[in-house]
Chain A
Amino acid sequence: MARKILCVAEKPAIARAVATHMSGGSFQTHAIRGNQYVKNYEFEFNFGAPWGNCSVTMTSVIGHLTGLDFERQYKGWLSCPPSSLFEAPVKEEVDKDKLPIAENIRNQAKYSKALFIWTDCDREGEHIGSEVRNQAKTGNSRIEVRRARFSNTERAHVLRAAREPVELDEFQANAVAARIELDLRIGAAFTRLQTLQLQAVAEILKEKVISYGSCQFPTLGFVVDRYLRVQNFKPETFWGIKVMLQREGKKVNFLWKRVHLFDRAAVIMMLERCLLAKKAKVTKVNQKPKSKWRPLPLTTVDLQMMGSRFLRLDSQTIMKVAEALYTKGFISYPRTETDQFDKAIDLKKLVEKQFPDNRWGQYARELMDGKFRTPRSGPHNDKAHPPIHPVSWVNPSQLNENEKKVYEFVTRRFLACCSDDAKGKGTEIEILYGEEIFHANGLIVLEKNYLDVYVYDKWESSQQLPNFEKNEMFEPTEANISEGKTTAPSYLTEPELIGLMDANGIGTDATMAEHIAKIKEREYVVVNKRGSGRSSIEELIPTRLGIALVEGYDNVVAGLPNSISLSKPFLRKEMELRMLEICAGSKTRQEVVQQSLDMYREVFIHTQRRIAMLKTACRKYLVDQA
């Protein structure tokens, strides 16, 4: 009998897609007992040396198999002081609804020579892989364990991954294990503390669980911070100088180098000195080629930011849609930090696959007829996945509305990456008028290049400037004072929030959308739609409870040296950096868990001691309706 190899993917759809490619389309499907989604697919496959021709069972899990929880005696909300949750014993157990899946893996492992792990190639996937391995080893302690490295479900790529397996990355799995433990302990301790203490403060909190999460709170903090900036904003008047010249039938507006000042008397004095000088002198005439750079290869964060900006989908929806497109084999793995294409990827072949499209097929053809350029390389490489790109062409009639939008964006972005920059000619005229400097800029777009396919970017020619000679003197047609007012910043939008989270190390590209969804679900923020149609904006506004929590925690640490509010990103960022140290192998899981717990325990003690601050804030916003 042929040797048997067990393959386990992270989701049923991936298992099916991989099985389809490996079997060439002919496989037997078996249901498993106790779970309607997970199936076992059986077929033959030649793995090449050293495994050769084997019979394969391809199955899957559904995300994590196990969960971490406190021992029974600590589970009740009043069973122990919340502070003891920092040390209380915890155990890892297979989730109740995952028991049949775990059993299936144990059973299948019994008859298998080797286990190939096909979970997604990211940190989370590495950890899920380690859970799968543990189950398989329980079923068959001698089973050999390999890991398939893949980033999309395109056929050739899958086959190569099957034949060139690697080892599971223990460091990454450990980093996730550390994060799970920290999230459990810190989350439970603070959630219990604040829920028990705050429930009595206001009627509407009576039955409510006020949950805390070390990513959610800084995320909320950003929303509240911006909200307060908008609320507190005070407009101020400023003044500027406008200079206009009429020449060759055109009006040339010169902009003041100082832009504007907040002192009216000074601006009037400066204008008077311009007028006294009568003539302006041309000090610079610069003509230079200008270009608008084509975009960088697409990362997850960029997909979420640009997507929610141009496609009007929230980041969580975008990620769900992108997952679906990936699972169906249309785009590459959508969770990636990499913004550079590896040289080994045959980009031209990917461009050619887009020929049949009637929106950008012609453009793709032009690229292959000589306009193709090697994409720019960004500074990030997660060493696991390529930038997000289309893997194969799909007829739009096969996609739903949202899938169509996301696929179109990913594809246009990819084609734009493989195009030339947009080219133009810029003219800059600088004049000295009295003691003040003014300038006028002109732009002529000569070649649109990538802009033809990347409809999301705009770059347009300005009015053409008349001719100026360096050192020539002229008398401006008009010179006036202009007046304006500063305007408040606008409320935070989702793409901005993602940008802030990314820049401040809150969450990973894979989890940011979840954290945002969480604070909406918890009723810490609401989404407010402003405007209508294409120009409508979705703004994030904190609820009274959201503001109260942030103000409360800020007050808890106010005046304490070296204590950082939970509403700020710093604590979480440090924790995130330590995760990276586990991944790099420079710190152990235990070290990181202890250090991070110590850090949060300190804030916990302050919070307990100064809980009145938190209560006062809640009373202020929820009872007194401040």
Chain B
Amino acid sequence: MASSEQIAAQILNTKSLSVSQSWLNTLLTNSNSAQRNIPASALTKTALFRVLASDFRESLTTSPSTVLPVDIIDPTVQERRLQGPIPVQVLDIEDIGTSLWSQVEAIERVERGEAIRGREVVRTIPMGDDNEGADNANGPAPNASGSSGYGPHRLILQDSAGTKTVAIEMKPIEGISLEKLSIGAKLVLQNATVARGMVLLNPGCVTLLGGKIDALDRPWKEDRKKRLLERISTLQGT
């Protein structure tokens, strides 16, 4: 059977995640009795899966080079660079290209079953200007989960030490969307730029590992409409 050191090394090499020995030992002890003769590769796979479903604050070790600067959200800093690799987990995702209200409307359409049934009521009809040659790019229609899918997205990320930061998707990144990205999903930042307290996400500086934290993801999804409505009423108040 593979030792916890081997597994940790393997995960560090392939995913840039330095898994805490004690966390890994607990994991292995708990599964030990039932899975005595499991090959190392399968065990590593299981361990990785569990790491991606874990809270990084518990499962990873922290070292100065793998965490965010504690003052990362300082808006007075015009620009700085994060060398990394820094593993982080997603605590929140929002579409800042779409108004909150139209996101609420889209969620309500799903609630009424209009999108789920795949028999969507057509609400707006293109009038008149539908014959202007070739370049007539209509935006994508709102999809089932209630986002337009336009992006860009604003994320709240957290490192293994618990430091949180805001990140903006500057260029579209495959896998970052309201449907595809779960809360608790893991990513690794490398050579990312931070401007005015916001991490600028580009395909080149983000490695998406996937995963999710069930205990965070479920309530996030259930309460999404409530949160949107609360934010709308806060906005109206000001």
Contacts and interface: CB of A to CB of B under 8 A. Distances in A.
Interface string A566-577: 001110010000
Interface of A: 225-226, 229, 233-234, 236-238, 258, 261-263, 265-266, 268-269, 272-273, 276, 290-295, 305, 309, 435, 457, 459, 486, 495-496, 499-500, 503-504, 554, 564, 568-570, 573
B154 A293 contact: no
B152 interface: yes
B196 A269 contact: yes
B97 A258 contact: yes
B133 A291 contact: yes
25 contacts: A225-B123, A229-B105, A234-B235, A234-B236, A236-B100, A258-B97, A261-B96, A261-B97, A263-B154, A265-B196, A266-B198, A269-B196, A276-B78, A290-B132, A292-B131, A295-B131, A435-B170, A435-B200, A457-B128, A496-B124, A496-B127, A500-B122, A503-B125, A504-B122, A568-B121
Contacts of B117: 570
B232 A236 contact: yes
A36 to B, nearest CB: 43
Given A234-B232, A291-B133, A272 B78 contact: yes
A258 B78 contact: no
A400 to B, nearest CB: 27
Contacts of B235: 234, 236-237
Given A229-B105, A272-B78, A496-B127, A262 B99 contact: yes
Nearest to A488: B101
A48 B154 CA distance: 79
Interface of B: 75, 78, 96-102, 105, 112-114, 117, 119, 121-125, 127-128, 131-133, 152, 154, 168, 170-171, 195-196, 198, 200, 232, 235-236
Q: Is chain B's binding surface mostly helix, strand, loop or mixed?
A: loop
A225 B154 CA distance: 31
Contacts of B125: 496, 499-500, 503
A290 B131 CA distance: 11
A496 B126 CA distance: 9
A573 B102 CA distance: 27
Contacts of A486: 99, 101-102
A234 B127 contact: no
B91 to A, nearest CB: 17
Nearest to B100: A236
B173 to A, nearest CB: 14
A492 B102 CA distance: 18
Contacts of B133: 290-293
A44 to B, nearest CB: 50
Given A269-B198, A292-B131, A309-B127, A262 B98 contact: yes
Q: Nearest 3 CB-CB pairs, A to B?
A: A499-B125, A293-B131, A503-B122
Nearest to B198: A269
Contact of A262 (B100, B113, B131, B170): B100
B109 to A, nearest CB: 10
A263 B96 contact: yes
A266 B180 CA distance: 23
Nearest to B231: A236
Nearest to A456: B128
Given A226-B123, A265-B75, A269-B168, 19 more contacts: A236-B235, A258-B97, A261-B97, A262-B97, A262-B98, A263-B96, A265-B196, A265-B198, A272-B195, A273-B195, A305-B127, A435-B170, A496-B125, A499-B127, A500-B123, A503-B125, A504-B121, A564-B113, A568-B114
A269 B195 contact: yes
A273 B127 CA distance: 39
B170 A570 contact: no
Contacts of B99: 236, 238, 262, 486
B122 A266 contact: no
A290 B133 CA distance: 6
A257 to B, nearest CB: 11
Nearest to A563: B113
A496 B124 CA distance: 8
Contacts of A234: 100-101, 232, 235-236
A236 B122 contact: no
Contacts of A309: 127-128
Nearest to A570: B119
Contacts of B195: 269, 272-273
Nearest to B75: A265
Contacts of B101: 233-234, 236, 486
B128 to A, nearest CB: 8
A340 to B, nearest CB: 16
A534 to B, nearest CB: 16
Nearest to A264: B96
Interface centre among A261, A293, A569 (most CB of B within 10 A): A261
A481 B151 CA distance: 19
Contacts of B105: 229
A617 to B, nearest CB: 16
Contact of B132 (A273, A292, A499, A570): A292
A225 B127 CA distance: 19
Contacts of A237: 235
A496 B127 CA distance: 8
Nearest to B120: A504
A499 B124 CA distance: 8
A589 B133 CA distance: 44
Contacts of A276: 78
Contacts of B131: 292-295
A280 B97 CA distance: 24
Given A233-B101, A435-B170, A261 B152 contact: yes
Nearest to B236: A234
Nearest to A459: B132
A231 to B, nearest CB: 12
A486 B117 CA distance: 29
